[in-house]
Structure 1
Amino acid sequence: MPKGILVVQTRPVSPEREDEYNRWYSEEHMPDIRAIPEIVSARRYRIRDAGQITARPSAREYLAVYEIEADDLEVPLAEMAARSADGRVRESDSVQTDPPPALAFYELID
């Protein structure tokens, strides 16, 4: 069965709303995403002193990694979009959208 990961970099809209952002992400968004059958894992990370790793630190200090296993890797991505559109994946205005979150999808090759 094909496997992939969806990587999403985000940040709160402001430092004052960081607690709200983290609460929404952990208590609402992640459970909503984990409810999609092909999502086998969903985890969040916070950047740690990027200056030691790269000269150009990320402008988005939070990272979510969603592991996907599906016969057709496009199906769970389409399901995420459908659930976002109909409200089953809840959104929050505590997430910065300008610039928008950075997304990348990777398919396992080895």
Structure 2
Amino acid sequence: MSNRSSVFAVCLIGFIVSIPLYHFKSRSLRSIPFEEASVKPNPLTIDTSAYPTIESVLQRAESELKIMYGAKIVDSEKPLLVSLENNIWTVVGSSKDAGKGGVSEIKIDKITGKIIHISHGK
């Protein structure tokens, strides 16, 4: 076998071996559609509750309290105090005249948005 034929044989073998490797590599580097390539949000980190923020629950609580007790009473008890415990929002009015009547209170479930308790103490 001459040098020329041995070079040809080596090139032919290299070419034959490289075809499957090239095909495998090109499949793994295929272009991905934009929808697949974009980062999708993790559903475990998104707060899907009915009232995830203080602002949202304050707006709901204030509107419900105004329906029950009137705007004059609710406005006189501002600022409304908000707390969250065990996924239950508690919104309580603040009293300017201690001992002269109570304040309004409403409890709203953070997840479902259901009103659990609403009252005006004395």
> Same fold per TM (> 0.5)?
no
> Larger Rg: 1 or 2?
2
Between the two structures, name the one with larger relative contact order (CA 8 Å, sep ≥ 6): 1
Higher helix share: 2
Q: TM-score, normalised by structure 1?
A: 0.31
Higher strand share: 1
Q: TM-score, normalised by structure 2?
A: 0.29
